[in-house]
């Protein structure tokens, strides 16, 4: 059976957990995560653990605070006028929303953010990953190596 190596394109089942063991992200088993080992799509420690394994093998890797999703950035906390959201949308603290932001070059991008506060005039969003600045645990199972 072949083993993964730097540059291998692989298909993975992945779970990302917080320090308390709660699952923060998980891929749909019907839609495996496809990455190239060494391309920087996962933290270096995780990609290193994926190197040299065979289909069916699993890894369990803990990344230090900030290593997996970067440091928590205060600039990623933004205030959006309440009127920018549909009037009938019930917005609650902790809710995930997608918002369109304008980049410095004038283009726009969709970002995911979490509601951290709601008041009559504004919604305060945090676009940091929930594990930004925190320890993250990756559990992954190799399902296929693409040739």
Give tens-digit pLDDT for 52-63.
999 999 999 999
Residue 4 placed within a domain: no
Q: What is the pLDDT of residues 23-47, one digit of tens each?
A: 999 998 889 999 999 999 999 999 9
Residue 62 shares a structural domain with residue 17: yes
Q: Which domain holds residue 140?
A: 9-66+132-146
0.75 surpassed by pTM = yes
| Residue whose entry in the numeric block shows the structure tokens 């749909």 | 28
Residue 95 shares a structural domain with residue 138: no
Residue 34 shares a structural domain with residue 78: no
Residue 58 shares a structural domain with residue 101: no
Element (H, E) at 110: strand 108-118
Residue 45 shares a structural domain with residue 91: no
């Amino acid at each position: 059976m072949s083993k993964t190596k730097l540059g291998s394109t692989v298909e993975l089942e992945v779970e990302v957990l917080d320090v308390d063991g709660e699952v923060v992200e998980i891929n749909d088993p019907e839609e495996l995560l496809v990455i190239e080992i060494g391309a920087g799509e996962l933290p270096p420690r995780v990609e290193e653990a994926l190197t040299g394994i065979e289909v069916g093998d699993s890894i369990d890797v803990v990344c230090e605070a900030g290593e997996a999703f970067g440091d928590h950035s205060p600039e990623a906390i933004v205030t959006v006028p309440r009127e920018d959201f549909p009037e009938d949308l019930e917005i609650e603290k902790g809710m995930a929303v997608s918002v369109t932001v304008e980049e410095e070059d004038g283009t726009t991008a969709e970002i995911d953010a979490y509601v951290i506060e709601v008041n009559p005039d504004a919604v305060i969003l945090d676009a940091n990953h929930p594990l930004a600045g925190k320890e993250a645990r990756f559990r992954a199972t190799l399902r296929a190596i693409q040739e």
